[in-house]
Amino acid sequence: MNNTPNTNVKILNVALADDDEDDRMLFREAIEEIEMRTKLSTFNNGQELMDYLTLPNILLPNLVFLDLNMPIKNGMQCLMDIRNNPLLNTMAVAIYSTSSSEKDIEQTFVNGANIYINKPNDFSKLREAIEKVLQINWQYHTSNLNRDNFLYRI
């Protein structure tokens, strides 16, 4: 993982695992509107993502967005797999979910997610949220992570 500030990254490598095709499409459209060079890889479920992340000789994402409620392997299972894998555990992970359950927020925080974003219903708010998350310097953000800056409020 590249730990330099995002302003110095030539291309920010981003992965999204979400089983909802419309949500993946809106996420892609939002990221394309942001004035930042990104490469987005999308996955239909957590198992597809984990299969990809464990391939030999791939360029790992700088940031992974995980939907919590997916078939086959959900976002929580992916988060725990990522944090338990020494080759992946420094990767920044954003939970990207419709759930606003305190239990889900707390569980993902305890299990090592870097930020929790409720999926906005409005496209401009979605674009704004994604842009703010992409601009975070994760090297410094994770060292100051606490419950107050974990939940991103739109």
Q: Which CATH number fits domain 6-152: 3.30.300.20, 3.60.15.10, 1.10.630.10, 3.40.50.2300?
A: 3.40.50.2300
Tokens of 127: 């674009």
Note the pLDDT of residue 23. Answer: 92
Query: pLDDT tens digits for 36-83?
Result: 888 999 999 999 999 999 999 898 999 999 999 999 999 999 999 999
How many angstroms separate the CA atoms of 117 and 97, rounded?
6
β-strand pairing of 115-118 with 12-17: unpaired
Burial per residue of 64-86, b for 16 or more beta-carbon CB atoms within 10 angstroms, e otherwise: bbbbbebeebbbbbbbebbeeee
**Domain locations in the chain?**
6-152
How many angstroms separate the CA atoms of 36 and 56, rounded?
28
How many angstroms separate the CA atoms of 114 and 93, rounded?
5
pTM of the model: 0.83
Tokens of 48: 């597809």
Share of the chain above pLDDT 70, in %: 82
Residues counted in the chain: 154
